[in-house]
Chain A
Amino acid sequence: MTLYNILIDLTKFFYLRQVGVILGIFLLGYIFIQLTKEKISDIWQLLLSFPVGLSLYAVTGFVLLSLGVEFEVGTIAMFLFVVIAELTLRLVREKVYIAPLKLSLLIFTMLGVAIVAWIAVSGALPVEISNDSVYYYSTYPKILVEEKFYDKSFDVFLTDVGQTAAVINALPFFFGFDQTFGVQHFMNINFCCIFFMAAFESGKSRQVNKKKAATAALLATLFLLTSEPFLITVRWVLANVYFMEYLFIFVFIAYKMSERLPENSVAYSAVQMVTGMMLTMLRVEGGVFVCIMVLIFSLLKYDRGQMLRIYVIPIAAIQILYYLNLYIRLRVDPLYSFLDIKKSMIAIGTVLFTALYVIFFRERLNKLYGKFMPILFIALLAAGNLSLLLIGRERYIENLRAFYLNIRLSNGWGLFGIPFLAYACWVFYSMIKHWKGDSPLPWLDLIWISAFMMIVAVSWARGGALAVRTSDSGNRVMMQIVPLVVYAGYLRTINWIQKVGGRA
């Protein structure tokens, strides 16, 4: 009997179980979207079902753990049932018309999902496994399932691990399989379809015909798919892959909601709420990251009520729950951890600042500075980075150098550094040339530039210099912005092609 044979024997039926879980998560997300859709097209309902289902499960698990409720399948199911029931009652009370379920579409879709799940779980797609994959995102989730409650003994795992990512990786231990490679690859395949659709729709909306828009979107998707930083991230069993993909979804849906696309601007509110909460807890720095994104979203056409309801309140609630749990209920105080009390105060401060800004200052400043708001944002982030440089010059410069070397030496970046640099030059040249124009810095470019500067700042705050290697944490976090850069570059290219001599 060889090791390989024994592994085969020990893991029979695991395949079916993981496929079943993927189908279940998809169905959960699909039902939720049916109850909250408010005019989301069929295609987007299907594309968002899995990410939303996974978010619902992960956020529910995290909330239960933080409230000291037993973390098990039964309680998660009960909680989700209450949410679904409440949403159904809301529709009944408000006499909202629910279109009859397109059963044939659903059956056809579930078949398609099953086929893709089968491929994702099969082992046909490779994965990257490192120490953190095994201990942070497999051992720790297993212990969460066994213990059923957070415990003070979890120590640095409470402060340094993305808690919703840990809940995702608890799926095998709830449902009787051993790893989440299939779940991850299904999410990856789903994400590629989302990226394609995002690019296709955006191309169509810029007066490009359907066929050409599809070709352009396909090329953009292939470009992303073959980019080394994207490939490295999607195969690695860590939180980065989920953060990267949810970040893109979060940003794109915000953009989609505000653009004059066929769907109603509030159509995706529920999706955004759940995605924002998920993203906040996918990585330790998620909360600060999401707050910066929300501040940038405040430049879009949301009213104050929408900003508070969709973004600020859910994100603030989940962050406050996390820190209350950490410092008041469990009183965790590891000797060495990424997250300490000072950084926690900064994170809470960022949440409060975001709330106050949205309530009191946003409308006034948008009116005052209008099209220069993006540049003002960049200037403020630059000022923040400058202050970090002054406080800890050596570490800041060392980190910048590490980022530069990682890209130049292709530590996980492959050839992406070249188009990245070229695109950055194009953006800055354009910003300077058109600074008096309608849109000196387009919103999507503001997003990735802000993300870049934020990552540099967070890496400094992490303590300890960044390393020049692919697996360095700061390097992995920087790779997370690649889909946003590719999408922004794609749109800018489409605009450039369409615009000739002042005529679009």
Chain B
Amino acid sequence: MKITRAQTAKYRKRKKTAAFLVVIIFIILNLYYHLSHNNGDVPLYNYNTQSMYHEGFAEEGLYPDLFLRLAVKDKTVSVPHEERLYSYYSTYGRDNEDGNPFDRNYLIDNDYIRFLRVYAKEVEVDTTLPDKALVRDIFAESIEKFEDLGISNDMLRYTFLLNKEEVQQASAFWYSWYYHSFAERESREGRYEFPHVFVNIDSLENDEHLLALWDSKQNLYLMGDSFYDAIQHTD
């Protein structure tokens, strides 16, 4: 049967109306769904600053390195020693021994230095600064003057990118194993404390020269030298 132009126009109009209604309904339903559901397992952030570090990260203990990289960007940071090669440690060359012995001080001593060399304007070595064995006691009483930015395992896990040594302990696999798998397992058995990043905000803002110290558990203490001098005088 031949369809007239009028009928064609009528059928087209019906189809248009049907399509229009379906699309409008779905747009409204989509909007309703979006506004009434949270983002699931994907964290959503509204930023009021131009940093990648969101002010809410401190509460959640997330990504302390995003704050650190801004804090040290235009500053000179002093560290207690130079980077130490793996040959400095007694487990060097013993990869083929039973148990594949590994001295974790290779990572504890060096990874914050590696991080700071990338992000700070300049890194200086000051050998008068205390060894990691003493650091925790130095700040034990003034710890409440530090802001705890959270656990540093992730930021340290990725410092393999900066480790140029050609030993297996410098690989991505090793770093992931130590800072992730090993850390979680040992923590469950009470033999590992996740390291934290502590910053003294006031001196960080005001001082041009900063100090980065860490203790044997790899907790980082970042502060301006005025704050450190004040602590020393108090002691």
Contact = CB atoms under 8 A, between A and B. Distances in A.
Interface of A: 1-4, 6-11, 14-15, 18, 121, 123, 126-131, 134-135, 138-140, 142-143, 146, 151, 153-157, 177-179, 181, 219-220, 222-223, 226-228, 231-232, 235-236, 334-336, 410-412, 414-416, 419, 469-471, 493, 496-498, 500-501, 503
B161 A157 contact: yes
A151 B164 contact: yes
18 contacts: A1-B201, A2-B201, A7-B53, A134-B65, A135-B158, A138-B52, A142-B119, A153-B164, A155-B173, A223-B23, A223-B27, A226-B26, A226-B27, A227-B30, A235-B44, A414-B30, A415-B30, A501-B7
Nearest to B149: A3
A503 B6 CA distance: 12
B69 interface: yes
A126 B46 contact: yes
Contacts of A127: 44-45, 47
B19 A123 contact: no
A15 B45 contact: no
Contact of B158 (A9, A139, A178): A139
B194 interface: no
A228 B24 CA distance: 16
B197 to A, nearest CB: 12
Contact of A128 (B42, B162, B205): B42
Contact of B160 (A153, A179, A412): A153
A419 B40 contact: no
Contacts of B23: 219-220, 223
A102 B29 CA distance: 44
A415 B171 CA distance: 43
B70 to A, nearest CB: 5
B131 interface: no
B202 interface: yes
Interface in B5-51: 7-8, 11-12, 15-16, 19-20, 23-24, 26-27, 29-31, 33-34, 37, 39-51
Q: List the 7 closest A-B pairs by CB distance, nearest first.
A: A226-B30, A14-B50, A155-B172, A179-B52, A11-B50, A501-B3, A335-B173
**Chain B contact residues: over half helix, strand or loop, or mixed?**
helix
A351 to B, nearest CB: 27
A471 B42 contact: yes
Contacts of A123: 46-50
B20 A219 contact: yes
Contact of B39 (A143, A226, A227, A232): A232
Contacts of A471: 41-42
B121 interface: no
Interface of B: 3, 7-8, 11-12, 15-16, 19-20, 23-24, 26-27, 29-31, 33-34, 37, 39-55, 58, 63, 65-67, 69-71, 73, 118-119, 147, 154-155, 158, 160-164, 170-173, 201-202, 204-205
B70 A470 contact: no
B11 A155 contact: no
A497 B40 contact: no
B52 to A, nearest CB: 4
Given A2-B201, A226-B34, A179 B45 contact: no
B132 to A, nearest CB: 24
Contacts of B163: 153
B205 A1 contact: yes
A131 B42 CA distance: 10
Nearest to A422: B22
Contacts of A222: 27
Given A219-B20, A228-B33, A178 B171 contact: no
A127 B52 CA distance: 10
A249 B227 CA distance: 55
B29 to A, nearest CB: 6
A223 B47 CA distance: 26
Given A4-B55, A128-B44, A155-B171, A501 B34 contact: no
Contacts of B41: 411, 469-471
A126 B45 contact: yes
Given A131-B154, A335-B173, A7 B42 contact: no
B159 to A, nearest CB: 9
A500 B12 CA distance: 7
A130 B43 contact: yes
A500 B194 CA distance: 69
A141 to B, nearest CB: 11
Of the listed residues B19, B37, B44, B172, the one surrounded by the most CB atoms of chain A closer than 10 A to its CB is B172
Contacts of A138: 52, 66
A2 B52 CA distance: 17
A497 B45 contact: no
Given A179-B50, A228-B33, A129 B26 contact: no
Contacts of A228: 30, 33-34
A220 to B, nearest CB: 8
